Amino acid sequence: QLYRDARECLTLLSQRLGSQKFFFGDSPASLDAFVFSRLAPLLKAKLPNGKLQQHLKSLQNLCNYCTSILSLYFPWDGGEMRPPALPCGLRAEEDPHKRRNQLLSVLVGLVAMLGYAFLSGIVSIQRGSAGPVDRRPIALEEEEEEE
């Protein structure tokens, strides 16, 4: 039922859009932003069940609608431009210090958690007496008396 309703909704959107560039003429409106925010992930994402995605791909005007908005407002997704590069021109995956930065962030987090545990009293360090420890075994009768 849900897929049937969604397919019907996509078909109605396709009919309403027709051959126009946007739903209300040549310039986008808030409805265009809302519809695009729902259609683009459905069109671009890999989904476990592709029924709805296949139906959307069969509606050529909605596919063109998404593609035109992507290329107009997100040109790096359309392949015309690239997103801003890191300052030294490296991509995040190619960062030579990535492993070091991960290790440092884990260590800082660990130190922060331990500091919090000590300062809040969750963990405390107590020193024992410096004298010899009595290590004789406790007899069963003595153990019951202590309880």
| Residue 136 belongs to some domain of the structure | no
At residue 14, the pLDDT reads 92
H helices present in the chain, as ranges:
2-17, 30-44, 51-58, 60-73, 75-78, 98-120, 140-146
| Domains identified in the chain, total number | 1
pTM here is: 0.50
Q: Which domain holds residue 12?
A: 1-74
| Residue 46 belongs to some domain of the structure | yes
> CA 96 to CA 47: how far, in whole Å?
33
| Residue 69 belongs to some domain of the structure | yes
Identify the weakest region by mean pLDDT among 42-51, 91-100, 130-139. Answer: 130-139
The tens digit of pLDDT for each residue in 36-95 reads 999 999 988 888 888 889 999 999 999 999 988 988 888 775 444 444 444 444 455 566
Q: How far apart are the first and last CA of the chain?
A: 67
| Residue 60 belongs to some domain of the structure | yes
> CA 67 to CA 61: how far, in whole Å?
10
Q: Which of 34, 39, 71 is nearest to 55 (CA)?
A: 39
| Token pair of 64 as six digits | 């063109």
**What pLDDT band is residue 100 in, cutting at 50, 70 and 90?**
confident
| Residue 105 belongs to some domain of the structure | no
**What pLDDT band is residue 130 in, cutting at 50, 70 and 90?**
low
Are 43 and 66 a contacting pair, CB within 8 Å?
A: yes
| Residue 114 belongs to some domain of the structure | no
| Residue 144 belongs to some domain of the structure | no
| Residue 35 belongs to some domain of the structure | yes
